[in-house]
Amino acid sequence: MRLYTHAACLGHHAGPGHPEAPARLEAVLQALDHDRFVALDRVEAPAATREQLLRVHAAEHLARVFGAAPQQGFSRLDPDTAMSPGSLEAALRAAGACCAAVDAVLAGEARRAFCAVRPPGHHATRDAAMGFCLFNNVAAAAAHALDAHGLKRVAVVDFDVHHGNGTQAIFWDEPRVLYVSSHQMPLYPGTGAINEHGAGNIVNAPLPPGSGSAQFREVWEHALLPRLFAFRPQLVLVSAGFDAHRLDPLANLDVETEDFAWITRRLVDLAEAHAGGRLVSSLEGGYSLTALRAACAAHVGALLD
Ligand SMILES: [Zn+2]
C-alpha cells in the first residue's frame, strides 16, 4: 500500500487562527510514523497537470487560482478560503497525489493508497474555490480514472462531516461516477439533501446534529453501502474527512474513532468484491488534532490490513 504526500502540502497557510492549518497534516504524518505503518510505501506526490485539472475545473478557475497566488501575505478567494505563497504548489501536489495514486493502483503497482495532502478538495466546484478547498482532488482523480484509463464505473465515497457539494456538482450528470455521502445537516455548505439525486448517481444520507456511532453505521449499512455494492465500481475513491468525530470543533456528530476503522473495512470489502481491491483515499477535513491522529491512524490501519 502506498502513502502519497509532499512537504509542499505543509506550506499552505489559510490565515492566522484558521482551522485548516499545517498542524493538521503534521498530526497525520506523526500518527503514521509508527511501527504499525512501516509497510507503507512512501511516495512523493507529483504536481497535477493542467490537463488533469481541466477535466473538473473551468480554465477561468485555474486562471483565478494561479493568478491569486500571492508573493507574500494572503489573498482571499472566498470568505473561508485564502492562499499564501506556498498554497499553489500545495494544491497542485494534493490533486496530483490523487491522480498518481489512481495510476499506481490501476497499473497494479499498489492495491490501495492513501494521500496525506492538503488543502482538501471536496467543496471546490468546477468554477470556484470554497470551504478551504482550491482544487477538487478526488474529483480530479475520478475524472482521471474515466478519461485516462477508460473506466466505466468509479465510486466516490465521502464520509467527511460536510457535504461534498463540489464533487456532487461536478458529477451531477455523470452516470459513470456514483457519489455517496454521509454528512451532518444542517451544516456548511447546505447541500446534500436526501432528494438530491443527480442522474440517479448521487446518494446523500444527511444526519441530524448529535448523531453518533449507531446512526452513522445505520445509514452506511442500510442506505449507502448497498448502493455502492450494487454499482459494482471498478475503482473506489474515498474523500476521507475525520470531522464527524465527536471531538471535532467544527461540527456536531459523535462518531467514534472505531467507526472510521469500521467504515474503512467495509469500503475495503467493497473494493475487494468488485474493484480488484483498488482503493484510493485522500484526506479531506478533520480539525481536532487529537481526533485526526486517532481516526486517520484507524483509517490507514484498516487499509493496510
Ligand atoms: Zn469537513
Q: What is the pLDDT of residues 259-301, one digit of tens each?
A: 999 999 999 999 999 999 999 999 999 999 999 999 999 999 9
**What spacing in Å lies between the alpha carbon of 153 and ligand 1's midpoint?**
25
Catalytic residues: 123
| Average pLDDT estimate for 99-114 | 98
Q: Is 274 helix (H, G, I), strand (E, B) or coil?
A: helix
Q: Is 235 helix (H, G, I), strand (E, B) or coil?
A: strand
Residue carrying C-alpha cell 482538501: 120
Alpha-carbon distances of 248 from 161, 182, 242, rounded to whole Å: 10, 16, 8
Phi-psi sector, 260: left (phi>0), alpha (psi -120 to 50), beta: alpha
Q: What is the pLDDT of residue 49?
A: 98
Kindly indicate the confidence band of residue 10, based on its pLDDT and cuts at 50, 70 and 90.
very high
| Average pLDDT estimate for 223-248 | 98
Q: What mean pLDDT value characterizes the chain?
A: 98
| Average pLDDT estimate for 21-30 | 98
Distance CA 10, CA 213 (A): 32
| Average pLDDT estimate for 89-98 | 99
**What spacing in Å lies between the alpha carbon of 161 and ligand 1's midpoint?**
5
Q: What is the per-residue pLDDT across 54-69, written as a single tens digit (0 to 9) for each?
A: 999 999 999 999 999 9
Measured between its terminal Cα atoms, the distance across the chain in Å is: 10
Alpha helices in the chain (DSSP H): 22-32, 50-54, 59-68, 87-106, 137-147, 165-170, 213-219, 225-231, 257-274, 289-304
Instruction: Return the bridge partners of 255, or none.
Output: 245
Share of the chain above pLDDT 70, in %: 100
**What spacing in Å lies between the alpha carbon of 90 and ligand 1's midpoint?**
18
Cα 37 vs. chain centroid, distance in angstroms?
21
Q: Write the DSSP symbol of residue 162.
A: S
**What spacing in Å lies between the alpha carbon of 212 and ligand 1's midpoint?**
16
C-alpha cell at 232: 459494482
- 292 CB neighbour count, 10 Å cutoff: 26
Q: What is the pLDDT of residue 83?
A: 98
Long-range Cβ contacts of 53-56 (<8 Å, 24+ apart): 53/95, 53/135, 53/140, 55/140, 55/143, 55/144, 55/147, 56/126, 56/135, 56/136, 56/139, 56/140, 56/143, 56/170
| Average pLDDT estimate for 98-120 | 98
| Average pLDDT estimate for 133-152 | 98
**What spacing in Å lies between the alpha carbon of 44 and ligand 1's midpoint?**
25
Distance CA 45, CA 118 (A): 12
Alpha-carbon distances of 182 from 26, 36, 70, rounded to whole Å: 26, 29, 35
pTM to 2 decimal places: 0.99
**What spacing in Å lies between the alpha carbon of 259 and ligand 1's midpoint?**
16
Distance CA 123, CA 133 (A): 6
Residue of 271, 295, 284, 303 lying closest to 95 (CA atoms): 284
Alpha-carbon distances of 202 from 131, 208, 213, 292, rounded to whole Å: 21, 19, 23, 27
Kindly indicate the confidence band of residue 154, based on its pLDDT and cuts at 50, 70 and 90.
very high
Q: What is the pLDDT of residue 291?
A: 98
* Amino acid at site 224: L
**What spacing in Å lies between the alpha carbon of 286 and ligand 1's midpoint?**
6
